[in-house]
Amino acid sequence: MNIVLYGNPILRQKCDNINISKKGIEDLSKNMVEQMYKGDGVGLAGPQVGLKKNIFVVESGKGPLSLVNPEIIYRSKEKNKKKEGCLSLPGVEVKVKRSKEIKIKAYLVERGKEVEIKAEGLLARIIQHEFDHLQGTLIIDYLPFWKKKQAIKKLEKRVRE
């Protein structure tokens, strides 16, 4: 399992739900968690490892969470803007405005059932970032046009190297 870099079309595709009853979800989430830590990241989504599947893993501060078929069911109106990086966009950081608090519904692999999780602060930001990946949205999409063009040039050069 390797991290997919900018330029790979899978990063721009909307993901498909996963059949929970199928075996292999535990192994997949374990492999994704290992890859996330190996890449020194705090989150990793299916498309970032070449899978067009609705799954992402995040570091919660109390250990990893593997969320399957997630749905954000609440976003606070209160937002903040902070810098974010991305394992698939090496060397690029973007200030992104996100809700300070969210609530997400998903199948949590670690518990083997569907749960609702309320998150705030950094965890809420990480979840929103990874959720964006499942929709085909990247942090550079939050940039104004001319800054986005600069970031894309930087990314293309880096990926070639």
Domain annotation covers residue 83: yes
Of 34, 130, 156, 161, which residue is the catalytic one? 130
Per-residue burial over 34-62, b if 16 or more Cβ lie within 10 Å, else e, is: ebbeeeebbbbbbbbbebebbbbbbbbee
Residue 126 C-alpha from the chain's centroid: 7
Phi and psi at 49, nearest 5°, equal -120, 20
- Going through the chain in order, the beta strands assigned E by DSSP cover 43-45, 55-59, 64-75, 79-84, 94-99, 101-108, 113-120
Task: Report the CATH number at residue 123.
Answer: 3.90.45.10
* Four-CA torsion 64, 131, 116, 99, nearest 10 degrees: 110
Domain extent at residue 68: 9-160
pLDDT tens figures, 73-129: 999 999 999 999 999 998 899 999 999 999 999 999 999 999 999 999 999 999 999
Instruction: Give yes or no: 59 in active site.
Output: no
Q: How many domains does the chain have?
A: 1
Task: Give just the sign of the alpha carbon dihedral 132, 70, 57, 24.
Answer: negative
Whether pTM exceeds 0.85? yes
Domain annotation covers residue 117: yes
pLDDT tens figures, 9-61: 999 999 999 988 777 899 999 999 999 999 999 999 999 999 999 999 999 99
C-beta of residue 13 within 8 angstroms of C-beta of residue 50: no
Domain annotation covers residue 2: no
Domain annotation covers residue 1: no
